[in-house]
Amino acid sequence: MKLPFLKQMARALSVQFGRDCEIVIHDLTRKSLGKSIVYVENGHVTNRKVGDGPSQIVVETLKKDPARIQDHLGYLTRTADGKTLKSSTIFVRDEEGGAVRYIFSINYDITNLLYLQDSIHSLISENIREELSCHERRAPRKIQTNVADILDDLIAQSVAMVGKPASLMSKDEKVEAIQFLNRSGAFLITRSGDKVSQYFGISKYTLYSYIKAEPAQEDGL
C-alpha cells in the first residue's frame, strides 16, 4: 500500500468524523526514527506535527517479529493535557507477514463524549466501557510527542517493574530493568545508552553487558 493512498484515506476519515478525529501516519522506512511522522490530520488532538518522533508503540513495533505484529484496535490512550482518546493502530505492509512499512494511527477525542455516555452508548464499544470502569487499576497509555518523553516513560516503567529506585537496586535488579528497556525498544532511540547508563549509575560497558546477561535464576532451580 502506497503512501499517497494512505494520505487519501487519512483525509477522508478526518472529514467524515470531524476535527476530533486525528490521523497520524508513521513512515518506518525513514532512516531517522526521531522524525517518523510524515502526515497528520487534526494534529491539535495530540499536538503532533509532521517531522515529530514516534510514540512508544512505534518503538516497540520495531523490536518485534513482523509476522507476529497485529493491528491494535479500539483501545484507550491519553494526552499530556488530559484528553482521553479512543485509538486504533494499523500496521501497513507490502505483503502479508512482511516488514511493517507504515503505521496508520487513528485517535478520536472522546473526552467530552464521556460526560454524555448514556447518549453515546452505541458509539463506545464494550471493551472501552470495561476499561473505563477499571480506570484506577489500568490507566490509558500516554501519547508522547517526542522520543525523549518515550525514553523517560520507559525508564519510569522499568523502575516501577522492579519496585525500587535505581540507587537501591541490586545488580540483578538493574539487569532486569535494563533488559526490559531493551525489549521495549529503548535503545533504538539516539543516545539512549548515555542516559540509561547515567540514570542507573553504571558505565556504558556495564550497560552492554547487562543487556546480554542471562536472566537471574532463583535458588533451587
Residue 196: name the closest of 173, 170, 178 by CA: 178
Q: Is the dihedral of CA 29, 30, 34, 38 positive or negative?
A: negative
Averaged pLDDT of the chain: 83
pLDDT of 94 > 90? The answer is no
Q: What is the pLDDT of residues 22-39, one digit of tens each?
A: 999 999 887 777 788 999
| % of the chain with per-residue pLDDT over 70 | 83
pLDDT of 91 > 50? The answer is yes
Segment 143-147 shows an average pLDDT of: 68
Rounded to whole angstroms, the maximal C-alpha distance in the chain is: 62
What is d(CA 127, CA 144) in angstroms, rounded to the nearest whole number? 23
pLDDT of 140 > 90? The answer is no
Query: Given this model, what pLDDT does residue 136 score?
Result: 47
The C-alpha cell 468524523 sits at 17
Query: Given this model, what pLDDT does residue 31 score?
Result: 73
What is d(CA 109, CA 85) in angstroms, rounded to the nearest whole number? 5
- Taking a C-beta distance cutoff of 8 angstroms, is the pair 36, 25 a contact? no
Segment 181-201 shows an average pLDDT of: 89
Segment 14-21 shows an average pLDDT of: 95
Query: Given this model, what pLDDT does residue 122 score?
Result: 54
Query: Given this model, what pLDDT does residue 145 score?
Result: 63
Model confidence at 103, pLDDT cuts 50, 70, 90, reads very high
Segment 55-75 shows an average pLDDT of: 82
The answer to whether the predicted template modeling score (pTM) of the entire model surpasses 0.75 is no
Q: Kindly report the number of other CB atoms within 10 A of residue 120's CB atom.
A: 13
pLDDT of 130 > 70? The answer is no
Query: Given this model, what pLDDT does residue 88 score?
Result: 94
62, 124, 141 from 75: Cα distances, Å: 20, 11, 9
Query: Given this model, what pLDDT does residue 62 score?
Result: 74
